[in-house]
A and B are shown apart, each in its own frame.
Chain A
């Protein structure tokens, strides 16, 4: 039996969506523990982004609760938000700030000491090959570089929880490798990571557990064995099991 510790992210019986009459998510429950990377997978429209929006507090649950480090957004909005960093699917950067100024703003907002900020930002800029672009404005960056800036911001904050939505789109191979290396490292140091992605081979290789969403419900969750079992395909790859789960209808 495992020791019960408080999960970093705890979603219980979440039902939600844009309109109370037509929920998009139905009774979603899962947890992300410290030192764990969870893959959130599903087809387009399965509810991955809606789930993430609920965690961010951009949408309100119709039913159920979401806790980050044991707190809900309503109880303690500031410490709730300070506990995670979010990398959106589409990079949102301020047009009027340079790469370096984005990092500085993040450092100020998360209350990172100025010394730490200097050291971490220099390291991140180096690791993500952005030295030549540190003074560039967002409008002069390619999609992949913008994504790098978002990722660097998240990593700079060193939060307890990372929420990463489809991070590999537009990243070059070096960028993908740097990101995965850093994620493994922050995980080892005890961070929790919730990552949504369509690149199932990467998800399979790096995540500890998986949550398969289909039509707004959890079709399966757990380790690779659990997903294979739910799909009735022992020994299959995550991709094959996932394919079977979403083409034959959701079953618990």
Chain B
């Protein structure tokens, strides 16, 4: 008997929940939730301070656009699709609408809730500004734009050519940002008119592109990437099965790996430097540096807690970067190549430590630059230099030993 596609969807959802449950437990037992709650408390203190007296020159519209554009435009889709589905499910392509509808609802509800939570936080500030939209208007607009984005994003997934997809996504984000800006500063009817026109344009534009009936490979690739991100996150707390990560070229960083000298004793440095830069590890570290840098600029210039808040944010992000970078030893542990290369094991460990140290020093200094930029002009020297000194002491003195022990424990468990 044929199983209904909805039943398959449900079974896969349950399987994923069951598979990841233990990892969530490990995560909850680590220090991560505490750090997260601490950051939340610090952020809400800042938020309360801001609410007490919203400055007249507060950039209402800019903050709103920056806050809502990603919340509304980002349209992920969990489909649980896997490579064998091309063989086994593709013959039921005609029925896949039912399947995808479940995925759409699964992602749309939390997405809409997040947008509304964003509005709940933003509204008390917005009230003080010159904006003309009421809270219900904004809520309705956000929900409508969220749904329209999800619909257009689905059509984008169907597009046959990557370039078309990228252009469409860029356009969608830009139009969404513009519509949000209009809702925040203009009369609501003008904003609605623009949003409706933008939506109609988008719907028509996606029809022009060549599309698949059902984008199997696209969805499978997207699903794989999502799962990998989950595991990249979990790998900060516990060993995860495998981290097969396809490479992102990141050609703008290739000058770094080109500088590794051509010598037998640097072969592993050459390998691990590429691994760090081109896998998900580097991707997440780069994102953490960018997000951390923005957070430091925001909290540093407001002179919150006398500049110590920026210092705390710096250390929190440096810590998260350290955790992520610490997963580097896990990447090649199952590769046959390691046993085939005529290199001593000590070279591998030494190279791992060297790559980790270089990456951590670079990331910690890059993350420090915005702190220096905002704190030093205010003559907050201790707040600027203390966290950097702490981070470097940790990276150069404490971290290598810890990492070495971690690698040793790792190879013990493999040598049986």
Interface residues of chain A, those whose CB is within 8 Å of chain B, are: 56-58, 77-79, 81-82, 85-86, 88, 92, 94-97, 101, 104-105, 107-111, 114, 117, 137-139
Number of A-B contacts (CB under 8 A): 73
Contact assessment for A108 and B246 in the assembled complex, using a CB-CB cutoff below 8 Å? no
The proximity string for B residues 309-345 relative to A, scoring 1 for CB distances below 8 Å and 0 otherwise, is 0000000000000000000000010011101111110
**In the assembled complex, which residues on chain B have CB atoms less than 8 Å from the CB atom of A82?**
342
**In the assembled complex, which residues on chain A have CB atoms less than 8 Å from the CB atom of B332?**
94
Q: Which of A86, A94, A104 contacts B262 (CB 8 A)?
A: A104
Q: Which of B227-283 contact A (CB under 8 A)?
A: 244-247, 249, 262-264, 266-267, 270-271, 274-275, 277-279
In the complex, how many angstroms separate the beta carbon of A107 from the nearest chain B beta carbon? 7
**In the assembled complex, which residues on chain B have CB atoms less than 8 Å from the CB atom of A81?**
339-342
Nearest 4 pairs of A and B residues by beta carbon: A82-B342, A108-B267, A96-B278, A81-B342
Q: Which of B249, B275, B278, B343 contacts A109 (CB 8 A)?
A: B343
Which B residue sits closest to A137, measured CB to CB? Answer: B247
A-B contact sample (20 more), CB < 8 A, given A78-B343, A85-B340, A109-B342: A56-B336, A56-B339, A57-B339, A81-B339, A86-B340, A94-B271, A94-B274, A94-B337, A95-B244, A95-B245, A96-B247, A96-B274, A97-B274, A105-B271, A108-B266, A109-B341, A109-B343, A110-B264, A137-B246, A139-B247
Which A residue sits closest to B339, measured CB to CB? Answer: A58
How long is the Cα–Cα vector from A223 to B201 in the complex, in angstroms?
A: 75
**In the assembled complex, which residues on chain A have CB atoms less than 8 Å from the CB atom of B262?**
104, 107-108, 114, 117
Instruction: Please indicate which of the listed interface residues B262, B266, B275, B277 has the most CB atoms of chain A within 10 Å of its own CB.
Output: B262
How long is the Cα–Cα vector from A107 to B266 in the complex, in angstroms?
A: 11
**In the assembled complex, which residues on chain B have CB atoms less than 8 Å from the CB atom of A107?**
262
**In the assembled complex, which residues on chain A have CB atoms less than 8 Å from the CB atom of B264?**
108-111
**In the assembled complex, which residues on chain B have CB atoms less than 8 Å from the CB atom of A79?**
342
Interface of A is mostly: helix
**In the assembled complex, which residues on chain B have CB atoms less than 8 Å from the CB atom of A85?**
340
Contact assessment for A96 and B279 in the assembled complex, using a CB-CB cutoff below 8 Å? yes
Contact assessment for A88 and B341 in the assembled complex, using a CB-CB cutoff below 8 Å? no
How long is the Cα–Cα vector from A239 to B278 in the complex, in angstroms?
A: 47
How long is the Cα–Cα vector from A94 to B249 in the complex, in angstroms?
A: 13
**In the assembled complex, which residues on chain A have CB atoms less than 8 Å from the CB atom of B335?**
92, 94
In the complex, how many angstroms separate the beta carbon of A40 from the nearest chain B beta carbon? 18
Q: Which of A57, A104, A110, A114 contacts B270 (CB 8 A)?
A: A104
In the complex, how many angstroms separate the beta carbon of A11 from the nearest chain B beta carbon? 18
| Known contacts A96-B274, A109-B267; A58 and B336 CB within 8 A of each other | yes
How long is the Cα–Cα vector from A108 to B244 in the complex, in angstroms?
A: 24
In the complex, how many angstroms separate the beta carbon of A79 from the nearest chain B beta carbon? 8
**In the assembled complex, which residues on chain B have CB atoms less than 8 Å from the CB atom of A104?**
262, 270
Q: Which of A77, A92, A94 contacts B275 (CB 8 A)?
A: A94
**In the assembled complex, which residues on chain A have CB atoms less than 8 Å from the CB atom of B339?**
56-58, 81
**In the assembled complex, which residues on chain A have CB atoms less than 8 Å from the CB atom of B279?**
95-96
A-B contact pairs, 26 of them (CB 8 A): A56-B339, A78-B342, A81-B342, A88-B336, A92-B335, A92-B337, A94-B271, A94-B275, A94-B332, A95-B244, A95-B247, A96-B247, A96-B278, A101-B270, A101-B274, A104-B262, A105-B271, A108-B264, A109-B264, A110-B264, A110-B342, A114-B262, A137-B246, A137-B247, A137-B249, A139-B247
